[in-house]
Structure 1
Amino acid sequence: MATMRDNPYGAFNYTVSLGEGDEASVVAGFSDVSGLGNEQNYSEYRNGNEKFNTVRKIPNTFKNDDVTLKRGLIGSTDLFEWIKRVREGVYEPRQVTVTLLDEARQPVATFRLRNAQPKKWTGPTLAAKGGGEVAMEELQLVHEGIDFQ
């Protein structure tokens, strides 16, 4: 699905799906998706008879960055209900899919988070200053890997 082209894609045109079937019933879009990444860990190893006086770097485990989703508070409790079920001991991992779209709204890249689960929910910051800010909620997810297509 990843399509090669000369100009990079804009970061403003994407969709987010929080699972399939009933799990995908999340209302509203997300204004921000951040934290799509991972980091490879390496072990250092050197034989006593190595030709060069440096260690080799051998890849081993890797860790995944937490992914953060932000959206305007719309009165829907779907995210909070998922967090509540997990907090009460229900094992409810989901496949979260972030799909980047081109200018014609056609999919060009897909990031799938395997076994994503809620880690932290942050409610909106409320201030009576009379400003025009939007009340935002934030959901931080942990996951077991990113598949790219």
Structure 2
Amino acid sequence: MATRTWQPPFAMKQANDPDPFPVFKFWVEIKSIVVAEFKECTGLSMSREPEKVTEGGVNDYVHYLPGRNEYARIVLKHGLADADALWDWYQQGLRDGKVKMINFSILLRNVQGKVVKRWNVIEGFPVKWEGPSLNAESSQVAIETLEIVHHGLVLDRA
């Protein structure tokens, strides 16, 4: 009888595997058009709160069932320039009362510039815009921030 060795349920790093990807090369794409390269992107996160179910007569443990998935707010920061696309997207919902939900992607590139990961954001819309902190004694770049809520995050292994 052949001896079977235990295999982990996930891929282990091999000696010849490439190094992890850097986090400083990414951009946002809407409808296959690169909208902007951003200084920072946070909120690529999701969580699931388990639901507790107690069973009568079972006193030594509690059953856990998967609960609803919840997605963190995505926060995008970039240098303020002539283009006002983020401002316009946020303002559109204020002007006409119709919030425009869009699908968009956040793309991570390797050091050669090749797209290695793509997170597709489902039905996102802005909930907060923040302008730059202005200070006459500073030489920092003016940064605008857009906070976005959404209905899902799908990893597309580019």
TM-score (norm 1): 0.86
Shift of 1:126: 0.2
| CA distance in 1: counterparts of 2:20 and 2:61, whole angstroms | 39
1:70-93 Cα distance to aligned partner (Å, 9 max, x none): 011102221111111112312311
2:22 to 3, 10, 13: 10
1:20 aligns with 2:27: no
1:96 matched to 2:104? The reply is: yes
Partner of 1:71: 78
For 1:10, the aligned partner's letter is: P
For 1:135, which of 115, 127, 142 is the aligned residue?
A: 142
- Size of the aligned set, in residue pairs, is 140
1:43 corresponds in structure 2 to: 51
Contact 2:55 2:63 survives alignment (8 Å): no
Per-residue CA deviations over 1:99-143 (Å, capped at 9, x if unaligned) read: 1111211111111110010010000000111x2211100000000
Unaligned runs of 5+ in 1: none
Letter in 2 for 1:62: N
RMSD of Structure 2 on Structure 1 (CA): 1.7
The 3-state SS of whatever aligns with 1:60 is coil
Corresponding residue for residue 120 of structure 1: 128
After the TM superposition, which parts of structure 1 deviate over 4 Å for at least 4 consecutive aligned residues? none
What's the secondary structure of 2:88's corresponding residue? Answer: helix
Residue number in structure 1 paired with 2:10:
none
Aligned match of 1:145 = 152
Q: 1:71, 1:6 → 2: CA distance?
A: 29
Amino acid at match of 1:11: V
Question: CA offset at residue 20 of structure 1?
Answer: 1.4
**TM-score between the two structures when normalised by the length of structure 2:** 0.81
Matched, 1:107 2:118: no
Distance 1:84 1:8 in 2: 38
Q: Is the 8 A contact 2:27 2:34 kept in 1?
A: no
Instruction: Give, as a single letter, the amino acid of the residue that structure 1 aligns with 2:153.
Output: I
Percent of aligned positions that are identical:
24
